[in-house]
Structure 1
């Protein structure tokens, strides 16, 4: 019997240059269909970016194999072009944004804890 693995939930942070924030947001409205296809082909799904008025960006996606997704995008000419275009928007960045983003550690997930809890949720 094949073992089913739980998808990884990946959260990361980057700092957008505040003076370039409006242009950065505009570049994502919409992202090219070619880049969207590469993200999907890499195995990333449920991908979201959030940003505050000071440029603090939080990204989130789910994947079955994050290392494979990262390798796929690192080898993709489409992703390389997109990341080169996006790099000037970020502060304190060494390398491509998709490879240099700082991942955050998950410390709580409602569904995981609810599924393993012996007690019914309070109302």
Structure 2
């Protein structure tokens, strides 16, 4: 299993909405994430909007592509896109650029 971490930036004026939406992620969205290989997935949000995502998966690009083919992900991404800064027209999940892991304590 590979560990993947990424950063995004949530708009300051949408922080409350972002938190509310993620307190009640649609069951079909959660099921799709699991079915497409996203495991131990967490999001951490700082008060200035910095969002840190972490997940474990066998193949991140394959898991992301599988989610991209789901109808529920298309709906979720469309609804969430306005919450983020600096996407340059990309969907939020397409803007997830994995960080390089430099240390891991097993």
Q: What TM-score results when the alignment is normalised by the length of structure 2?
A: 0.95
Instruction: Provide Cα deviations, 1:50-83, integer angstroms capped at 9, x if missing partner.
Output: 0100000000000012121011011111101101
**Moved >2 Å (runs of 4+):** none
**Structure having the higher Rg:** 1
How far apart are the structure 2 equivalents of 1:20 and 1:88?
8
Q: What TM-score results when the alignment is normalised by the length of structure 1?
A: 0.82
- Answer yes or no: is 1:39 the counterpart of 2:58: no
CA apart distance, 1:102 = 2.7
Q: Which has the higher contact order (CA 8 A, sep 6+)?
A: 2
Equivalenced residues, count: 105
Segments of structure 1 that go 5 or more residues without pairing to the other structure are 1-6, 112-123
Segments of structure 2 that go 5 or more residues without pairing to the other structure are none
Q: Which residue of 1 aligns with 2:97?
A: 102
Aligned equivalent of 1:49, options 43, 51, 60: 43
Considering only aligned residues, what root-mean-square deviation do their CA atoms show, in Å?
0.8
